[in-house]
A and B are shown apart, each in its own frame.
Chain A
Amino acid sequence: EDQVTQSPEALRLQEGESSSLNCSYTVSGLRGLFWYRQDPGKGPEFLFTLYSAGEEKEKERLKATLTKKESFLHITAPKPEDSATYLCAADSGNTPLVFGKGTRLSVIA
């Protein structure tokens, strides 16, 4: 069965304290790995798509990387406005997306 596991479940950072969120996946034939940001009561906002091991993508303070077993979302010098739930999802071709449970990030000023 395809599975996506995110860790930690929750993360509390001081403003400027860099860290990484982990997404490990067990899917047969990964076709794409997606990162989304979700604010409370709102729809997920697309961040990155990664297609193959070794691929990296960056946007402002965020950088996503992909290996054959996991993906990392690195947050450099986070600000309070980066507080949100970050969702990882894998496309294996069986169903469109298999979501992880998310990491709830709080950045304290």
Chain B
Amino acid sequence: DTEVTQTPKHLVMGMTNKKSLKCEQHMGHRAMYWYKQKAKKPPELMFVYSYEKLSINESVPSRFSPECPNSSLLNLHLHALQPEDSALYLCASSQEAVGADTQYFGPGTRLTVL
């Protein structure tokens, strides 16, 4: 089973709201990722967690706050977002963060910021 699940599927929020995106995998993978994807563009890496520790932060604004409570779960906390943050947010996981392991993606959360 190579399934990564994400909730919610869709999220609409105002600029003053606080919300969270959730990602889960049960493949025993030790690396998990958050990507942001705008329409007709490739996914853009935001964060990488390796063995539950943040290993890469691609200069993402602090209004995005990742959290990895355990090896199967990854959250992305959102606060004071801007309309330009509207996008498809993708979670992915792989066996390890190094070693050219295949990343498996979830279905994404479509975020709209009003």
Contacts and interface: CB of A to CB of B under 8 A. Distances in A.
Interface of A: 31-32, 34, 36, 41-46, 49, 51, 87, 89, 91, 93, 95-97, 99-102
B105 A43 contact: yes
Contact of A42 (B94, B98, B99, B108): B108
Interface in B79-114: 88, 90, 92, 94, 97-108, 110
A6 to B, nearest CB: 9
Interface string B29-51: 00101000000011101001000
Contacts of B45: 95-97
Contacts of A36: 105
B2 interface: yes
B15 interface: no
| Interface residues on chain B, size class | 20 to 34
Mostly, the A contact residues are loop
18 contacts: A32-B101, A34-B103, A36-B105, A41-B108, A41-B110, A42-B107, A43-B6, A43-B88, A43-B105, A44-B105, A46-B102, A46-B105, A87-B42, A89-B42, A91-B100, A96-B56, A96-B103, A99-B42
Given A96-B45, A97-B45, A102-B42, A43 B106 contact: yes
Nearest to A30: B100
A81 B79 CA distance: 39
A96 B96 CA distance: 10
Given A43-B6, A93-B98, 13 more contacts: A31-B99, A32-B102, A43-B92, A43-B105, A44-B43, A44-B90, A46-B103, A49-B100, A89-B42, A96-B31, A96-B45, A101-B41, A102-B42
Contact of A96 (B90, B97, B106): B97
Contacts of B43: 44, 87, 99
Given A31-B99, A44-B43, A46-B2, A95 B105 contact: no
Contacts of A31: 99-100
A74 to B, nearest CB: 20
